[in-house]
Amino acid sequence: MDAADYLAADGLGLATAVRAGRVSARAVTEAALGRISARGPAVNAFTTVLAERARADADRVDRAIASGRDAGSLAGLPFAVKDLFDVAGITTLAGSKINRERPPAARDAVAVAALRRAGAVLVGALNMDEYAYGFTTENSHYGPVRNPHDATRVAGGSSGGSAAAVGAGLVPLTLGSDTNGSVRVPASLCGVFGLKPTYGRVSRTGTTLFAGSFDHVGALGRSVRDVSAALDVMQGPDPQDPVCTTRPLEPCLSLLGEGIDGLRIAVLDGHFARGGEPEVFAAVARVAAALGASRRVTIPEAHRARAAAMVITASEGANAHLADLKRRPHDFDPLTRDRFLAGALVPAAAYVQAQRFRAWYRARVAELFGEVDVLLAPTTPCPAPRIGQDRIVLDGVEVLTRPNLGVYTQPLSFIGLPVLSAPVTRPGALPLGVQIVGAPYREAHVLRVGALLEAKGVVAAVVSA
Amino acid sequence: MSDGPTPEELGAYVDEAAKRVGVPIAPEHRPGVIQFTGVLIASAVLVMEFPLPDDVEPAPVFRP
């Protein structure tokens, strides 16, 4: 398989070709490895490439197909995972130096194992902000991930490697995690699809948690159907993850063609309509126009939800690393250390009140979902900032770059809503995503909207040559 | 919302809280910790000043 064919297809396109015997899984894997070695260093997305293991997995898929067995719905689809997913045999770094001292993982994370069981071929682990505390993936230990569309700019974070790997055409599908926007922010800045399912929809067992109240497993990909297929394979109960849902499986891939008939779609006003560059609101307006959505609705107290998310995240994140913060603070990334240390000092009253506010806010948003089915909002307040850029001007006000990239994502993950960040087509301009937001467990709604927009050409992944 | 604590007040809070929690703050880390503590305190004030009904329980649920 040559590089042009590899780049032309999305993940399911490759899997379909493998299942039909038009190309071998081994040939697809070699194309992926070739692309990673040719283009990978420029974006610095990978922390580990598992070439031999990938070849062995691909050969297993090819043997299954040769013997007439079902090789799985994702047969031969190359994928990679944020380096906070356990991969049997290698140490899970979670973007840190400290975790290098840990033994290799004994088994794959549940989500990784699910994709491999479906025939997908794991090719490596991906760079991220240290312990997932960041929105830019300017990792001091492993270097910054570079935006595939402008190497002087950040890829977003904390799943920066996951988004850049898709945007640079290294692999069509990756896994990331999203606590406050860590799938959606990099998806927006790198021009790829990023799906954060409902909180608890996908097991987190075998991942390094950051702030358990908000941690989600998500997928980034070339197409709506790729992230839908990944969700279908990964979802399901897991008694080992206390927040993993026991609801019946709700596959989405087969529903993508249903369109938007019957869906009440509105644009989010208030917090989600200020504090960003004009072009992000223009992107939302374009999506809304394509969907015929003229209604505007407001989520009350969204700015306070963001504040509460910051309090809970800082408290839980600091607690997760408290022993190391006390013993060896100098081994942390300077870009996360001071925030982790500050998180260790948050009063309990603020944490508990933030968790109570979360319940109140969830009830208000549930009321809103009695009137509408799908909400639209910008993903990021601007396109990708430059690497090392500490401040940005948003809406005429100079603010800190790193925390403000999550201004529109945090109030939504705060209550675990399913969200697809979809890359709006903007030829010649840096990528930008729009959030398509559903009620809890209504991933199918957001993916149906995404699929329709994709079919209309309003959204499309941007893969660099 | 009030004007919030001064940098000196934040510094004093960081020094005292760090001592109570048992997290030593190296001198070279102190300015950054004070800066982010300021962000977190401002966020905490936004949360604490909101009048919640008494019957709202914290979001996490524990199932024994």
Kindly determine whether residue A349 and residue B39, on different chains, have CB atoms separated by under 8 Å.
Answer: no
Rounded to an integer, the average pLDDT of A408-426 is 98
Are A360 and B46 inside 8 Å of each other by CB?
no
* Interface membership of A325 toward B (CB under 8 Å): yes
Q: How large is the average pLDDT for residues A96-115?
A: 98
Q: What confidence category does residue B64 fall into, taking pLDDT thresholds of 50, 70 and 90?
A: confident
Confidence band, pLDDT 50/70/90 cuts, at residue A402: confident
Residue type, A308: A
The answer to whether A129 contacts chain B (CB < 8 Å) is no
Question: Is it true that the peptide bond before A158 is cis, omega within 30 degrees of 0?
Answer: yes
Mean pLDDT of A412-421: 98
pLDDT digits (tens, 9 = 90+) for A222-236: 999 999 999 999 999
Beta bridge partners of A374: A265, A438
Using the beta-carbon criterion (under 8 Å), do A325 and B47 form an inter-chain contact?
A: no
Residue B52 to residue A353, Cβ atoms within 8 A: yes
The residues facing A265 across adjacent strands are A374
The torsion angle over the Cα atoms of residues A298, A304, A308 and A313, rounded to 10 degrees, is: 70
Q: What integer is the mean pLDDT of A374-391?
A: 97
CA distance B22 to chain A (A): 7
A320 touches chain B (CB under 8 A): no
pLDDT at residue B62 tops 90: no
Over 60: is that where the pLDDT of A465 sits?
yes
The residue of B14, B40, B61 whose CB has the most chain A CBs within 10 angstroms, and thus the best one to mutate to test that interface, is B40
Q: Is it the case that residue A204 has pLDDT exceeding 50?
A: yes
Q: How far is CA A368 from each of CA A17, A180, B41, rounded to the nearest angstrom?
A: 43, 21, 30
Chains A–B, number of C-beta pairs less than 8 Å apart: 107
- What percentage of chain A exceeds 90 in pLDDT? 98
Rounded CA gap, A19 and A120, in Å? 12
Report whether pLDDT(B1) > 50: no
Q: Is A341–B39 a contact, with Cβ atoms under 8 angstroms apart?
A: no
Residue B33 contacts A, CB cutoff 8 Å: yes
* CB contact B22 to A (< 8 Å): yes
Cβ of A341 within 8 Å of Cβ of B42? The answer is no
What average pLDDT does chain A have?
A: 97
Residue A325: which pLDDT band, with cuts at 50, 70 and 90?
very high
Cβ of residue A342 closer than 8 Å to a chain B Cβ: yes
The answer to whether the Cβ–Cβ distance between A339 and B36 falls below 8 Å is yes
A359, B25: Cβ pair inside 8 Å?
A: no
- Does residue B7 sit at the A interface (CB-CB below 8 Å)? no
Pairing of strands A78-82, A121-126: parallel
Distance from the Cα of A185 to chain B's closest Cα (Å) equals 21
pLDDT digits (tens, 9 = 90+) for A180-199: 999 999 999 999 999 999 99
Q: Look up the ipTM and state it.
A: 0.95
Whether pTM exceeds 0.95: yes
Rounded Cα distance between A184 and A314, Å, is 20
- Does residue A455 have a pLDDT over 80? yes
Q: Which residues of A fall within a CB distance of 8 Å from B29? A: 329, 337-338, 341
B40/A342 touch (CB, cutoff 8 Å), yes or no:
yes
CB A131 within 8 A of CB A179: no
Q: Do B36 and A342 touch (CB under 8 A)?
A: yes
HSE value, Cβ hemisphere, 13 Å, CA-based, for A279: 12
Catalytic positions of A are 82, 158, 182
From chain A, pick out residues whose CB is under 8 angstroms from the CB of B17: 345
What pLDDT, on a 0 to 100 scale, did the predictor assign at position B2? 54
* Chain A residues inside the 8 Å CB shell of B56: 356-357, 359-360
Residues B12 and B6: their CA atoms lie apart, in Å, by: 10
For A161-199, letters b (16+ CB in 10 Å) and e give: bbbbbbbbbbbbbbbbbbbbbbbbbbbbbbbbbbbbbbb
* B56 shares contact with chain A (CB less than 8 Å): yes
How does pLDDT run across A137-172, given as a tens digit for each residue? 999 999 999 999 999 999 999 999 999 999 999 999
Residues of B in contact with A308 (CB under 8 A): 43, 46-47
Partners of residue B42 in chain A, C-beta under 8 Å:
307
Left, alpha or beta for A396 (phi > 0: left; psi -120 to 50: alpha)?
left
* pLDDT tens column, A33-63: 999 999 999 999 999 999 999 999 999 999 9
Whole-number pLDDT of residue A3: 86
CA gap A124, A16 in Å, rounded: 22
Residue B64 forms contact with A (CB below 8 Å): no
Of the partner residues B25, B29, B47, the one whose CB lies closest to the CB of residue A354: B47
Answer whether A344 sits within 8 Å of B57, measured CB to CB: no
CA atoms within 13 A on the CB side of A411: 27
The residue-averaged pLDDT of A197-208 equals 98
* Residues on chain B touching A310 (C-beta within 8 angstroms): 39-40, 43
